[in-house]
Structure 1
């Protein structure tokens, strides 16, 4: 029983995190799924309904996530400043975490369009039912018959919910991320070089005209309370942030990492109040330029982030 569930845990965690945008909430949802599975096994009638374990567990987990998402929307309306998901951060030499993305073909579906923070920012605009329909079908290839079962609706209604979500994901004002690993690395290098030089014009050229920068501090540190939009405004904002973080006095530390499967930065700098500011910055890249910068500063969402080493100075190693 335990082994069968553990074989499904990675996929369930990936589904839950994509739906909820929170690692801790996703882990809680998977644990609740385990409890319901254990309860079903103790009931002969309920056990008889488990014909295909993976599908059954996905349905239960998604229903739990839907309930959480509905209540989370209320909580996030009172969130201080802007909200971003908890990032899944991994070293570059390990590749994307096995539990951070769905296995084929779902992983290919994620990578073919938008990944990580860029996608989750757009998903925050959706109604809970639309978000569940999109994540289950478009990201994890769950058939609409199963999606309809999760949502308690018809196949046709589930298709309509996913279609509306898809239009939002592909809306003109949505951050675009289509770059492969090589393009990501090239654009990140150009971004770091422009920041290092302090050249406003060079940084503007790395950014898309409609670039957006979003910062989530959870009220723990000063941060922009609204998205910063446009290449010139974002470039000035970024240079100001790096200047305050110690870019020019040698106190800033940095490491290149994978953030939800794409290249980004882990940054740390001391603060005058004695605290240490830790930031995970994820970039969305399309057409050779940055379309989105997502800065996670909230220490409550960075609890599992490994500390930087003494050699992780600015600029980061390549």
Structure 2
């Protein structure tokens, strides 16, 4: 495989991860697409073939996927991200809040919406990828936007300047165990989504409301095994990474719009093994 073709991997991973919300599943889909490319022969546009094949593999995976047996809240697998402020659409579409929102869509709606809105595919190209008419893919994108409650060009409001230093302030307040100080940082309708997948201790339901969330967080940060912590950018947003030795044992991200509106905590070990290694734009 040439360097030019191998260089398409980050693009393919970016599509597959947003489709599936899982780095592991995205890596499998991309690897399958590369294998099909190697045996296809006579491919005139490697990028077109690989993105189309990756998308179709992801569609099949989404149609087969069932989460009914998942224990507790499901959170998209967290990824470490660098500075993505140069491309606001890519940055906004990578947040865990947005990826959770995409769970409302059918597989076809999700693919059409992402390729059109995030990756700027023309409707004719979408039709080729999805095997549908241009009119049909326009309807898919329109229906997806209605389901998501989106209007205009933006996917999410941009994070305010107050997000600078947010993770540090949040960590200090939670570590101090000062429930009132934690409450002061939270929106009234704040939520905590804690994903252990039945393999690590986590809340079994989404925790809602400023007072309940503040008490929960103050308690969590008192745990003796959560003392080795550093600040990180998680899916384009302020976050914290907790370690035990060389192993990552928890990743937390903050969704802020003035106040903290959501906290996403991942402790499921299956979702932490690829932290800092994913090739996602």
TM-score normalised to the size of structure 2? 0.86
Aligned to 2:59: 66
Cα separation, partners in 2 of 1:137 and 1:217, compared to 1, 3 Å: same
Aligned to 1:10: 10
Q: 1 or 2 for the larger relative contact order (CA 8 Å, sep ≥6)?
A: 2
Cα separation, partners in 2 of 1:168 and 1:187, compared to 1, 3 Å: farther
CA distance in 1, matches of 2:88, 2:150: 21
The answer to whether the 8 Å contact 2:18/2:94 transfers is: no
CA distance in 2, matches of 1:114, 1:13: 14
Q: How far off its partner does 1:117 sit?
A: 0.9
Query: For 1:103-142, what aligned pairs fall within 5 Å after superposition?
Result: 107-111=87-91, 113-142=92-121
Which of 192, 196, 204 aligns to 1:225? It is: 204
Which of 256, 270, 278 aligns to 1:300? It is: 270
CA distance in 1, matches of 2:219, 2:275: 24
Indicate whether 1:89 and 2:80 are aligned: yes
Q: How far off its partner does 1:53 sit?
A: 2.6
Query: For 1:50-199, what aligned pairs fall within 5 Å after superposition?
Result: 50-72=43-65, 74=66, 76-89=67-80, 95-96=82-83, 107-111=87-91, 113-170=92-149, 178-179=158-159, 182-199=161-178
SS of residue matched to 2:250: strand
Aligned to 2:256: 285
Gaps of 5+ in 1: 42-46, 271-275, 307-318
Gaps of 5+ in 2: 277-281
The answer to whether the 8 Å contact 2:201/2:267 transfers is: no
Higher Rg of the two aligned structures:
1
Which of 204, 217, 221 aligns to 2:183? It is: 204
Q: How far off its partner does 1:236 sit?
A: 1.6
1:260-288 CA deviation, whole Å, 9 max, x = no partner?
22220002469xxxxx88110011111x2
1:274-304 CA deviation, whole Å, 9 max, x = no partner?
xx88110011111x21111110100111113
1:171-225 CA deviation, whole Å, 9 max, x = no partner?
69xx966215x53223323322321332222212211122111011111122212
The answer to whether the 8 Å contact 1:59/1:146 transfers is: no
CA distance in 1, matches of 2:256, 2:156: 7
Aligned to 2:233: 258
RMSD of equivalent CA atoms: 2.7
1:72-114 CA deviation, whole Å, 9 max, x = no partner?
2x2x221121211221125xxxx25xxxx7x98xx43133x45
The answer to whether the 8 Å contact 2:251/2:265 transfers is: yes
The answer to whether the 8 Å contact 1:187/1:290 transfers is: no
Q: How far off its partner does 1:170 sit?
A: 4.0
Q: How far off its partner does 1:3 sit?
A: 2.1
Q: How far off its partner does 1:241 sit?
A: 1.6
Number of equivalent positions = 272
1:120-175 CA deviation, whole Å, 9 max, x = no partner?
11112221111111111111112222222232222222222222322343469xx9
